Amino acid sequence: MINRVYLKNLISFSEVELELEKGLVVLSGPSGAGKSLFMNSILSTFGYGTAEATLCEVLVTKPSRLVHEAFDFEDELTVRSIKKEKTRYSIDGQNISKKALNQLFSPFVQFLSVRDKSGFSSKDLLTLIDNNLIAKDKTFKKLLKEYKSRYEKYKVKLSQLEKIKADEAKLVELIEFTEFEIDKIESINPQVGEDEELLKVKHQLSRIDKVNDALESANGIFSFEESVSEVYRLLDKDDSIFSDMMNQLRADFEDIESLSDELAEVDIEAVLDRLEKISALKNRYGSIEEALAYVAEKKKELAGYKNIEQDKSMLESFLTMELTELTILAKKISLTRKKSAIALEKVLKGYLSELKLPALKFLFSTVSLNENGEDEIEVILDGSRANTLSGGEFNRVRLALMVVALSGVKEGGVLILDEIDANVSGDESIAIANMISKLSEVYQIFAISHQAHLASKANQHLLIEKSKGVSRVTLLDKNGQIDEIARIIGGEKPNEEALSFAKKLLN
């Protein structure tokens, strides 16, 4: 429920701060005073419509089923919209997009107006009947849960079969192409680190002629070795360092000559060709390691392709058996629903009679299996379908359905009604007020109304007035309620009869 509302700079409203209670909150006042503007601003804070207030802050008791992976909700939430160059939304100081905000709260904050034609889809009506059954029949709850769980698995398996069939047409081509890719890499048979070794050999081959020429010239140093040693002996100096250096030089020259002999045996064309093939693999796959990993992955895919016929056969057998089982479950669910619908029709008949409407019938038809079973449902009112009803008839039927659905609702959330009782007769107005009063036992309801009977049912009555272009909201006490209801009945200057009737309604 909404516990507190704070608005600032909402067109004709300068500032509004209200503490709110459970039950029915009625907004009344002269036309053009700003009732819809005030209500729409609250709605916009939950992502409905466009925010007009510079600041709208709503304090909300967290619904028990409200969860979001990005937010850690407290028991009481502060939902805020701030409008500057653009509108920003937040929950407990954490920014959130308007779309995400609306998706989060739409199950808990509902808006119904006289122009709204929602709530009569087959899914909505089936949910109403199912919730009514679940609240009373544990067997049905278990049956429906089993069906929905198995149907979800059925859909997954069906999707897998459809993919197999789609792939089947190009299966031969897929196998041939996969085998070609595997053979191409395996024919090269690349080894990890081989590219670096080949580049090293290429580099050595490119320099070997120059190295050999330099080595031939450098070998002349050994012809002076004995003369240098003789100088050291004549001077009585130690020639060990010189001797060690010459020995090391001789060993290095021998290694170079050995390498030169080895390189002379290397086929440079073969090295360059190998390097080209390895480079092509690296350009395509990124590295030798990735090329080898790709081969392993493709071999797995190839094994999967070759098992596809077996998978297809197994899936088809499973789906055939599961469809039979699901059809049996769906028929049981349908039979239970139809019995429940007859019972609901009897309950609805009393409410609809009170609302000056004829009895309602639930019309079932059978469709292909889906997540809701095999049922499709619509309502018939005195031969008329929902989409042919007038706005007033439509909303009265919807109120009756919502009242009947209360047995399946544990936490109703917030229900915002915009002149839902507009353009109805006195008896209809009384009946609508009674329906809304029943709903307020589960929902916190905000209702804009110009009808005295609904105003008299309010747990809180907000008067919205406008003077010299400035709107204000007043929470009425009992005397204020009497005066406002009398104004609704008798106009701006109500007589004693209107005041007396207002007192009678409140008492």
pLDDT in tens, 259-269: 777 776 777 77
**218 secondary structure, DSSP code:** H
pLDDT band at 169 (very low <50, low <70, confident <90, very high): low
Q: Model confidence over 269-327: pLDDT tens digits?
A: 777 787 788 888 888 888 888 888 888 888 887 777 767 777 788 888 999 999 999 99
Q: What is the dihedral of CA 432, 434, 435, 440, to 10 degrees?
A: 120
Tell me the whole-structure pTM to 2 decimals. Answer: 0.66
| Spatial CA neighbour of 460 closest among 34, 23, 37 | 23
**266 secondary structure, DSSP code:** S
Lowest average pLDDT, out of 55-64, 177-186, 303-312, 437-446, goes to 303-312
Beta bridge partners of 334: none
Question: How confident is the model at residue 6, as a pLDDT?
Answer: 94
Residues in the chain: 507
Question: How confident is the model at residue 494, as a pLDDT?
Answer: 81
Rounded CA-CA distance 16/189 in Å is 78
> Which two three-digit tokens encode residue 139?
């067997």
Angle at 51 between CA 45 and CA 57, to 5 degrees: 40
Question: How confident is the model at residue 174, as a pLDDT?
Answer: 73
> Which two three-digit tokens encode residue 192?
């990890």
Per-residue exposure over 174-207, b if at least 16 CB sit within 10 Å of its own CB, e if not? beeebeebbeebeebebeeeebeebeebeeeeee
| Whether pLDDT at 334 is above 70 | yes
Q: Residues 396, 14: contact at Cβ < 8 Å?
A: no
pLDDT > 70: what percent of the chain? Answer: 97
pLDDT band at 236 (very low <50, low <70, confident <90, very high): confident
* Residues in CB range of 16: below 8 A, 6 or more apart: 5, 6, 7, 8, 10, 38, 472, 473
- Could you tell me the CA-to-CA distances from 152 to 20, 159, 219, 281, 373 in Å, in that order? 42, 11, 85, 44, 12
> Which two three-digit tokens encode residue 442?
């589960």
Average pLDDT over the chain, rounded to whole? 86
Within 311-410, strands assigned E span 360-370, 373-381, 384-385
Q: Which amino acid is at 241?
A: I
pLDDT band at 408 (very low <50, low <70, confident <90, very high): low
What is the radius of gyration, based on Cα positions, of the chain?
43
**62 secondary structure, DSSP code:** P
Angle at 435 between CA 431 and CA 439, to 5 degrees: 165
Rounded CA-CA distance 291/288 in Å is 5
Rounded CA-CA distance 507/505 in Å is 6
- Collapsing DSSP states into helix, strand and coil, what is residue 37? helix
Question: How confident is the model at residue 114, as a pLDDT?
Answer: 65
Strand (E) or helix (H) holding 89: strand 87-91
For residues 434-453, average pLDDT: 90
Can you list the alpha helix ranges (DSSP code H) found in 83-193?
Answer: 98-105, 122-136, 138-168, 171-188
